[in-house]
Structure 1
């Protein structure tokens, strides 16, 4: 494995200097130490391999591709333990995709188990409620407290909201393809009902959050009909597929003329960032197969499109009826 890695480095090396001297300088070791590594007499450590890969602009996956085709390197999102951690997570997400605004023909494909994150990053009560739910799930201390959403919403830092709105805006500058199912809205509805019935969200705010979900669905329906993100001078496309065959996963794939990457979730908000191109191609092909077995609602016909969105709105309305009821009963 090391022999092939060294061979790959030599192909990238500066021909104007001694390869041994170049490696010695990068690793900050002596000439003899560099010579022993190049000639396989001393193993290259993981830390040294990372330094060399960064210097020669080689994907870290090259360290593994030469040894096994079944191993790749991924980047993990920042941990979220508190409000500051959530803000750092959002800022890292902005960093990951902000360049897309400047890339022509950049595209998102979003496999939507839940309402896509970007639709809920607006100046709305729903956005603030999502943050509350995330932190109740991820912040151990907050999970132990009985702080209500009504009280917590008054404490949200402006910097956190500003970052969230900035991340939501990026989504409007790319071409979007989303896959939804009949159950995509269920998670958001259940989150409202759960904390309302636990006494942690007031009736008034719970109903207002449901109204915000209605507005999100109305906006998505308009984008679906227009086949566009919308807005003045915005020519970016929007395509919504109704998927009945496969379970959706909240996987986000980014496609540009320069390559592909995708974000694969593994907890509430944590994700793996995958840039290994062979793996990205596998994910891209799978998403394409999902779309081929799904219904593009822009062209499916007015009846199918109307029925889909009507069913979604009915679910939200049923949740509002349940909130308004004096005696609680099981939500079916």
Structure 2
């Protein structure tokens, strides 16, 4: 069954060439021996299967998933333990998306449990802070490093900005709930209280967060249909990301902080797309909502930031009493 599926996949890549002739060359066997394998009269050895799959850029794991629908082949993104790993993560993520993004029919769905990473990679203070937070949580050497002493390498910032730039001008649908902004607010407050972020920097981070909300609000009211922001009051998001065009699709499912399981399995991607569309159907598209509903959402998010600003100012006042 796996052998038959492997040959089906190889045929898709031959452009009319003889399967037996190509296979005999790849495996260094006679034409008759290749014919016995393609006609399923002889079984391919594991070594032969691996050689053939590797030659044609196929995954043995993915074939198992196609034969047994309860199995899905996934690729795990790099586990981040230091800044070098983080830089590689930015580069790998960009390369994963680059080819599929470069199409007019490309679309990206983002279930935004947290602020989508693409909004946080602009090279500003907020970008530097988010990189600081990620490394504080993943790299033991950052344990006692204050934010004012942290400066990412130029190459890290360049690759972060490159990944962030892939989000510009492409069709995006983000689904937010009332808690999407919360983790960033908590991080600012936590590191301020821990003495790792100064009073002035904490307020500056809050103001940059407000600028980001202003920017997203402008995109919503522009009605250009490139950036679509949905608001769901019932479901909690999970940071799943689904990207697709007419020829390719890819699903990213969170594994750990910044690490994802990635799959191109057709059935799994189809199910993910169907689920995203159901979420969207039961969400409110702010782009086409009235001014009242748009302002309610914007004011709700902005008020969360203002509450944090007031809290930090009050705590700073008490510290100096």
How high is the TM-score relative to the length of structure 1? Answer: 0.85
SS in 1 for 2:67: coil
Q: Find the aligned partners of 1:15 and 1:221 in 2 and give their Cα distance.
A: 52
- How far 1:326 moved relative to its partner? 3.4
> Take 1:9 and 1:176, find their aligned partners in 2: how far apart are those partners?
31
Question: What is the match of residue 94 of structure 2?
Answer: 94
Which residue matches 2:246? 257
Q: Does 1:114 align with 2:110?
A: no
| Structure 2 portions without partners, runs of 5+ | none
Contact kept in structure 2, 1:100 and 1:174, CA below 8 Å: no
Distance in 1, matches of 2:132 and 2:185, equals 14
Q: 1:51 to 1:135 in 2, by over 3 A?
A: farther
| Cα RMSD, aligned residues only | 2.8
Q: Cα offset for 1:324?
A: 1.4
Secondary structure at the residue paired with 2:218? helix
The answer for the alignment partner of 2:183 in structure 1 is 187
Residue 324 in structure 1 maps to residue 313 in structure 2? yes
Closer/same/farther in 2, CA of residues 62 and 151 from structure 1, 3 Å limit: closer
Unaligned runs of 5+ in 1: 229-235
Separation in 2, partners of 1:163, 1:225? 30
Aligned-residue offset at 1:65: 3.8
CA contact (8 A) 1:90 1:164 kept: yes
- Tell which deviates more after alignment, 318-327 or 156-165: 318-327
Matched positions, count: 316
Task: Identify which of 149, 152, 166 aligns with 1:151.
Answer: 149
What is the Cα deviation at residue 28 of structure 1? 6.0
- The two structures have a TM-score, normalised by structure 2, of 0.88
- CA distance 1:125–1:67, shift in 2 (3 Å): same
- Separation (CA, whole Å) in 2 of partners of 1:75 and 1:28: 30
Q: Is 2:298 the partner of 1:297?
A: no
* Conserved 8 A contact 2:109-2:174: yes
Distance 1:199 1:56, change over 3 A: same
Cα distance change on mapping 1:49 and 1:133 into 2, 3 Å: farther
- State the match for 2:164 in structure 1: 168
Deviation at 1:141, TM superposition (A): 3.0
Are the structure 2 counterparts of residues 186 and 328 from structure 1 closer, same or farther at C-alpha, using a change threshold of 3 Å? farther
